[in-house]
A = this chain, B = another copy of it.
Amino acid sequence: METAALQRIVDKYVEAFEKADLNMIRQLYAEDATLEDPAGSPARHGIEEILEFYKAGFAMGMKLKLDGKPRCAGNSVAFAFDGVMKKMTISPIDVFEVNANGKVQHMRAYWGPENVS
């Protein structure tokens, strides 16, 4: 997958949080995508479960600030960011695996309590 396409997905992701726009999230993900946040926890399956997850994040007013450039490799992109909310900031690394249609097929967010401030 082209680096520019992977970077665009990350840009759109940041913008979706900026606008709290669930429809933008819907457009980024495959219908049958999975999401693990945090990685290793039971996965959410399918776009409807995934949208519920973002709805909660948007309700907390979370905005994303990228920490460095996205790292694109093969059909994946990893990126570090601060998720800034009113009373706390969470600093995960997300990894998106993107399918042949350019949609996020698997999302894993790596973070623990020590990444919350």
Contact = CB atoms under 8 A, between A and B. Distances in A.
A73 B3 contact: no
A75 to B, nearest CB: 6
Contact of A3 (B74, B77, B95, B112): B112
Interface stretch (A9-17, A19-27, A38-46, A48-56): A38-46
How many chain copies does the complex carry? Answer: 2
Contact of A77 (B79, B91, B109, B110): B110
Interface of A: prevailing SS: mixed
Interface of A: 3, 38-41, 67-69, 71-80, 91-93, 95, 108-115
Given A39-B76, A69-B91, A80-B80, 18 more contacts: A3-B112, A39-B74, A40-B73, A40-B75, A40-B76, A67-B80, A68-B91, A71-B91, A71-B92, A71-B93, A71-B111, A71-B112, A72-B110, A72-B114, A73-B112, A76-B110, A77-B110, A78-B95
